[in-house]
Amino acid sequence: MQEINILTKLPFFRNVKEETTEGLWRAGKVTEAPKGRILFRAKELVETVYFQLSGKSMLYNLTHTGQRKIVFIFGKGILLNDHVVNVHEASLYCETIEKSRIFMVSAQEFLHWMELDFALTKEVMITQEWKMWRLGHQLKNTTGSIYMERKLAAKLWKLARDFGRETPEGLEIDINMSVTFLADMLGAPRETTSRLCKTLTDYGLIRMEKKRIVITDSHKMSMFYKTGEI
C-alpha cells in the first residue's frame, strides 16, 4: 500500500489544488535511488517527471573532452527535469549524489494536470525561470575577469547557503565533495582545483577534512568572491 501523499508538504505544490496533487500521487510512484543512480541522460528522450523528495541530485553535462561539468545541485522538493511541457531529449544528465527518494510520474500525466490546474503550470514556470536566473549568475562568475579561486569561493558560498549546517567551526556544507567533484563543478583540472582549495584554506576561508568542507566565515567568503579582498 502506497504511503500518505507527501507532495502536499513540498513548497512546489503549496498553491496547487488538492485534487491535482492527489491525482499525481495516485498516478506516480516513489523510488529509492542509491548514490550514483542516473535518472536521465542528455540526448535521450525523457518521458518521466522527477521530483527530489530526499537526498540530493546533480545536473551536469559532458565537455567535448568527456569531462563532467556540474551545472546544478538540488535538494528536497525540486523539480529535476529541464523539459516538462514537451516530451523531448534532455539537455543534461541527472544523477543522485547520495541516497535519495524520488517521486516519478509520466510526463503525459503531469501535462494533463497542468492543463487542468494553472497553479501547477505556474509553479513549473517559476521553477524553470529560477533555474535560468541561476544559470545567468553562473555565467557571470565564469568569465575571465574573475580569478579561479574566487570562482571556487563563489560556488562554495552558494552551496553553504543552500546545504549548510551550523557547527562550532563554521558553516559545514552537507555534501561529500572530493577534489574531483569540485573540479567537475569548476570545470577545471583536478590539480588546479587542489591548489585552489589550498589557497582558500591558507586564506582561512575554509577548512577541509576528508570530503567535508566548512566555511569558517560566510561574510568574509562572500566579500572575497565578490571583491577578491580578504
- Domains of the chain by range and CATH? 7-140 (2.60.120.10), 148-227 (1.10.10.10)
CA distance 23 to 69: 36
For residue 145, what pLDDT is reported?
44
CA dist 151 → 10, 52, 188, 223 (Å): 31, 27, 11, 12
Helix, coil or strand: residue 189: coil
Distance CA 63, CA 37 (A): 20
The pLDDT, as a whole number, for residue 64 is 84
Q: Collapsing DSSP states into helix, strand and coil, what is residue 138?
A: helix
Segment 177-209, tens digit of pLDDT = 999 999 999 988 999 999 999 999 999 999 999
pLDDT at 1 over 50: no
Higher pLDDT, 2 or 51: 51
Q: Average the pLDDT over 54-77 and give the result.
A: 93
Q: Write down the pLDDT at residue 140.
A: 65
Mean pLDDT value across the chain: 92
pTM of the full structure: 0.86
* pLDDT at position 211 over 50: yes
Q: What is the pLDDT of residues 101-155, one digit of tens each?
A: 999 999 999 999 999 999 999 999 999 999 998 888 777 655 554 589 999 999 9
Query: In sequence order, what are the beta bridge partners of 171?
Result: 166, 215
In degrees to the nearest 10, what's the CA dihedral of 62, 65, 68, 69? -80
* Confidence at residue 230, expressed as pLDDT on a 0 to 100 scale: 82
- 117-150 in b/e form (b: 16+ CB < 10 A) is beebbebbeebbeebeeeeeeeeebeeeebeebb
Q: How far apart are CA 152 and CA 193, in angstroms?
A: 8
Cβ pair 215, 173 in contact under 8 A: yes
In the chain, what percentage of residues exceed pLDDT 90? 82
**Statement: residue 2 has pLDDT above 70:** no
